[in-house]
Amino acid sequence: MIIIPAIDIIRGRVVRLHQGDFSKETFYSDDPVETALMWQKKGATLLHIVDLDGARLGEIKNRTVIDRIIKKVSMSCEVGGGIRDEKDIEYFLRQGAKRVVLGTRALENPDYLEGVISKFGEGIVVSIDFAGKKVVKKGWQEDTDLKPDAVANQMQKLGVRTIEVTDIAMDGTLKGPNMEMLKKVLAAVDISVIASGGISSLDDIKALRDIDSKHLEGVIIGRALYEGKFDLAEAIRIAETHGT
């Protein structure tokens, strides 16, 4: 299991939202590139970059700063937030991103998803965000009646090889991950799953590691790292260690 620091960007600045609420924004840095290099220096091998303006508005808004991050770091990057068109997927992969994270468009248009998977393969990741027990979309602003585990299974059938699962009720709260739903998703698929939302302590890292699922690829962490709840290097050590 790998530890994946998150860089969430609004107006070119590093921020975190509380439970996906754009009115509850916490500012951390006005230099996303410097932040990315910091996480790389501390041992990160994969960075999760989200254009939150893009997620909310449905089109990429922080392209220039994301490009700069990808070019400056030597670790792998994945990019999400407002990526709806094939040309944007191709753009970021060509810039050097390891993969691109799709959300709303992937959920709404299976034919489109199958097409981009056919073209880009493992360069496509689908984000499944949920509140309560139902999936949300369009930058967490629109509810659906879909269950996360059912959507995960559908994504697998469409050819997706990696999904990211975020409980936005936990995201940015430091209240711990939604283990119940994560286990349901892991039981529903045979593809890579990345957990996100609520990580608060090294005990949370241990709990995720101890699920001991070969399909749990990693965990995305934001606020806990930015507020120094634990050290990234120590989290990486625990995530890579078997047993207690």
Question: pLDDT tens digits for 107-127?
Answer: 889 999 999 999 999 999 999
Confidence of residue 104 (pLDDT cuts 50, 70, 90): confident
- CA-closest candidate to residue 92, choices 137, 124, 135, 131: 124
| Residue 65, pLDDT score | 97
**Dihedral sign, Cα of residue 184, residue 131, residue 163, residue 71:** negative
| Residue 103, pLDDT score | 86
Distances (CA, A) of 186 to 31, 105, 110, 151: 36, 23, 21, 12
Confidence of residue 174 (pLDDT cuts 50, 70, 90): confident
For each of the domains in the chain, give its residue range(s) and CATH number, in order of start: 2-239 (3.20.20.70)
| Residue 140, pLDDT score | 52
> What is the value of pTM for the model shown?
0.92
Over the stretch 9-52, which tens digit does the pLDDT of each residue have? Answer: 999 999 988 767 788 889 999 999 999 999 999 999 999 999 99
Q: Which two tokens stand for residue 173?
A: 């709260």
Q: Which two tokens stand for residue 69?
A: 């991050």
| Residue 138, pLDDT score | 55
Q: Which residue type is seen at 228?
A: G
Active site residues: 8, 129
